[in-house]
Amino acid sequence: MLEIAIKGSKKYWIWLGVLSAVIGAGFLVYVDQYINGLMTTAMSRDVSWGFYIANFTYLVGVAAGGVMVVIPFYLHNYEKFHRITILGEFLAVGALIMCLLFIIVDLGQPTRMLNVLLYPTPHSMLFWDMLVLNGYLFLNIVIGWKVLEAERNQIKPPAWTTPLIYLSIPFAIGIHTVTAYLYCGLPGRGFWLTAILAPRFLASAFAAGPSVLILLCYVVRKFTKFDPGWDAMQTLSKIACYALIANVFFFACEIFVTYYSKIPGHMTHIDYMFFGLHGHNTMVPWMWSSMILMVTGAVLLVIPALRSNATLLPFTCIMVIIGTWIDKALGMIAGGFVPSPLHHITEYMPTINEVAITLGIYGVGLLVLTILYKLATTVKEEVRG
């Protein structure tokens, strides 16, 4: 089936070339970071995780969002998702590969990363995160590939894929729950120390994942002969809508608990993010933009006439994606680390190097996604004849 990937139009090859250039540039910057250490980043003693872990967290959400097509199709036989299920699974594959790369570039000693396997440590949440992320990646590759292959040969997928598909559902919930547990089980970080964090992560994931998928459907419609189906895209936008509303609601719950109880250790982080603290206000415009984008996105998605406007929908999805990205990527890092446990304020904005490496990783993700989507759409075109 992989042979499909090496037969493409001129545009396809130009696109792959552009991505390779971005990846290559990112890789060169990474070589510098590898040689000189994480000094090339803006991370610090106080803000010890930065852009890499921020994007990691966000993309775990995008990967988990794929389950929003798997559940309706496989558990509820929702036929309209038949055509896009494979797109959801392959999106998860691309997102997970980026997640793993973000972890690797964040390590101070990447050559030692197998120590996590050599000294398995069940009391560390990172150990579990490693297990569920790799497990979910493996499941999606196997399921996606086998189901697509069967479709190409016009036979039923092998019976053993069914239990794997069912297994992939708790794994999808698991990857984001455990990723939230990385943060919310730490005693000294008031902003993260909240039981709503895992539900909030899932809610924002189920808004971001389907929004990305809708955008990808538009791309597929424009560049291939395969049509994922407008009805399927509309159902996706409804899922994104209610998940987004849940995310904003969960955040409102957090705000109530924090500001009604007035416990300083919890208030000070949100104060910093939304109002600035002692003159430090880098995050303020970002956080308000995030809120405006998410609320506007929810309004545009909840009103049927606006949701079903095919010209408006992609812009709404972009708003949701950017809003949830600021909320979960930038906000999670800034809110957690500023102010520090000693109430010092060290602000954080990534260096050019960090941004370049990040773009390189997004390049890898897009490359994987392009190839997988090419396979999927070509097979589907073939079958439809």
Q: Which residues of the chain form contacts with another protein (CB under 8 A)?
A: 36-39, 41-49, 103, 106-110, 112-113, 115-116, 118-119, 121, 123-127, 130, 182-183, 186-189, 265, 336-337, 340-344, 346
In three state form, how does the secondary structure of 280-303 look?
ECCCHHHHHHHHHHHHHHHHHHHC
Q: Give the count of beta carbons closer than 10 Å to the beta carbon of residue 69.
A: 28
Least separation in angstroms between CB 50 and another protein: 10
Give how far Cα 220 sits from Cα of 209, 230, 240, 311, 358, Å: 16, 12, 19, 16, 25
**Cβ distance to another protein smaller for residue 126 or 253:** 126
Nearer to another protein (CB atom), residue 10 or residue 45: 45
Q: How far is the CB of 333 from another protein (least distance, A)?
A: 10
Distance CA 275, CA 286 (A): 11
d(CA 30, CA 358): 10
Nearer to another protein among residue 115 and residue 153 (C-beta): 115
What residues form DSSP beta bridges with 280?
A: 277
- Min dist CB 63 to another protein, Å, is 20
DSSP for 131-162? HHHHHHHHHHHHHHHHHHHHHHTTSPPPTTHH
Nearest approach, Cβ of 347 to another protein (angstroms)?
9
For the bound state, the minimum distance from the C-beta of residue 74 to another protein, rounded and expressed in Å, comes to 33
Query: Which residue, 9 or 111, is less far from another protein as judged by CB?
Result: 111
Handedness of CA 168, 321, 207, 357 (dihedral sign): positive
Closer to another protein by CB, 121 or 153: give it: 121
Per the CB < 8 A criterion, the answer to whether 351 and 41 are in contact is yes
Nearer to another protein, 56 or 250 (CB): 56
**CB closer to another protein, 41 vs 161:** 41
- Judged by beta carbon, residue 24 or residue 341, the one nearer another protein is 341
Nearer to another protein, 106 or 151 (CB): 106
- Cα–Cα distance measured from residue 55 to residue 102, given in angstroms and rounded to the nearest whole number: 7
In whole angstroms, give the CA distance from residue 200 to residue 259: 18
Rounded CA separation 375/8 (Å): 11
Burial 182-216 (b: 16+ CB within 10 A, else e): bbbeeeebbbbbbebbbbbbbbbbbbbbbbbbbbb
Sign of CA dihedral 186, 133, 62, 229: negative
Q: How far is the CB of 383 from another protein (least distance, A)?
A: 44
Least distance (Å) from another protein to the CB of residue 265?
A: 7
What's the DSSP call for residue 49? S
- Cβ 266 to another protein, closest distance in Å? 12
> HSE-up of 276 (CA within 13 Å, CB side)?
8
Distance CA 4, CA 21 (A): 22
- Rounded least distance, CB 114 to another protein, Å: 9
